[in-house]
Homo-oligomer: A and B are copies of this chain.
Amino acid sequence: MNLISLHAIWLGETQCRYCAVRSSALFAGLEESDFRHIHQPINERTLVPSDALYRMNEPGNTLFTLRSGVMKLVQYLPDGNQRIVRLLRDGDALGLETLVGPSYQHDAIALTDCEICAIPVEVINRLGREQPRLYQELMTRWQRALSEADVWLTQFSTGPARQRVARLLLHLACPAQDSHLLLFGREDMGAMVGLTTETVSRIIAELRRQGLLRDRGVNLHECNREQLRRIADGEA
């Protein structure tokens, strides 16, 4: 653990005030004066791929902000199969459920290196009492999660395999303007769109053969957005 995060552990007040992602993070929009109310330690954690931040049904009273990286939220089926219900990226909140319930509802697992802020629910409750505005911010997070859940249901769980994969690729490429995207393991991608790893592999291999997907390094690819869009909309 480096000096900066050591520092942050004991100085949540200071840390969040100057946090690099503050404008997109939970405390965005809080007044300077509000930071005086944060007297509790705000931990910082770093994860490497496949690390779990928390597990399903694990009791907890900490919510998290993802400062950088990508994480998956996983739930399991009776037969042991897993289904990825959401991806989280910079600025997204994890573990909101601990604000209203005793335990976490998913496995939260890192897909890339991740930096995370851990905020005790206690801090939120105290701050919220003074600053209802914080609740606006929280509700925005909740809405973002819900909206994303709807996308996963309509885009990634409906229609033929080619369409689902194409939609997923577009979604993964979305944040970047240059059509570059990070591909994950085939098994994970299968769990995202409700298909087997073989089917996903076949489709991606075919897209590569058709030139809609070009290799650009380790798991990094460049895609043809227009063509993918046509496939995603069922026009091909």
Contact = CB atoms under 8 A, between A and B. Distances in A.
B135 A77 contact: no
Copies of this protein, total: 2
Interface stretch (A27-35, A143-151, A215-223): A143-151
Interface residues of A, number: 39
Contact of A142 (B129, B142, B232): B142
Contacts of A135: 128, 132, 135, 138-139
A139 to B, nearest CB: 5
A142 B93 CA distance: 14
A129 B130 CA distance: 9
Contacts of A128: 132, 135
Given A78-B234, A149-B149, A83 B139 contact: no
Contact of A158 (B136, B139, B154, B194): B194
A85 B153 contact: yes
Nearest to A128: B132
A139 B77 contact: no
A185 interface: no
- Nearest first, the 9 A-B pairs at minimum CB distance are A157-B157, A149-B149, A142-B142, A78-B233, A135-B135, A83-B154, A100-B140, A79-B234, A100-B143
Interface of A: 75, 77-79, 81, 83, 85, 96-97, 99-101, 105-106, 128-129, 132, 135-136, 138-140, 142-143, 145-147, 149-150, 152-154, 157-159, 194, 232-234
